[in-house]
Amino acid sequence: MKLQILTLLLSVSLSLSLTEPVPPPPHADLVGNARWMVKFSNVSILATQSSFLDGFPFGQNKDVADGLYNEKLSSGIPYIYTSHLEIQAQDVMKDPKVTFSYSSEFTHWCNDNGVDNDDPRCGKVMLSGEMEKVTDDTEITWAKYGMFARHPATKQWPVSHGFAFYKLNIKNIFVLDFYGGPTMHLNVTEYLDYKFDW
């Protein structure tokens, strides 16, 4: 019985270590905080220029993936898996300019630490750029690796609906992770080249 309990506790501990994010970097590390939010978020709010509500932006929560929680493999680039039948996919075909919005609240860190979502200490990052369909076989494999692990249901979505992977070519990064106002133009190269140990 004791052995069974020990095995169960070990399994739970291992499961948590694979899914629970580490704490975010110090707030002075803006690039690190941006990468942390993207790595440890399963969802993001995608904003497009609506093709059916003329003149209005359109926002929707989307499954995203950037590798796995428990690995140091992470690109900092949002990948989504969507069908050409989906509303925002049609928006992107008309105008590829979009923004992905992330919050530390999406990782549960803010709630777990008693920090309100609108508190500046609950980090936010907005990645703006242009969407591009992923066509390279190696990159498609990478996209599947993260998406199907984080969102297992997506693996079963019908092929007949034309699902495909898309990624963001980042043009601008907006970050807020503390009092004093946001950084509106974080260096994209520095963001993509950032090295981390979590």
pLDDT value of residue 10: 32
- Over the chain, what is the mean pLDDT? 89
Query: How does pLDDT run across 125-179, given as a tens digit for each residue?
Result: 999 999 999 999 999 999 999 999 999 999 999 989 999 999 999 999 999 999 9
Query: How does pLDDT run across 25-69, given as a tens digit for each residue?
Result: 999 999 999 999 999 999 999 999 999 999 999 999 999 998 887
**CA separation for the pair 179, 177 (Å, rounded):** 7
**Sheet of 124-133: strands edge to edge?**
57-63, 43-49, 97-103, 124-133, 163-176, 79-83
What ranges make up the beta strands (E) of 8-106?
A: 43-49, 57-63, 79-83, 97-103
pLDDT value of residue 8: 35
The model's pTM is 0.88
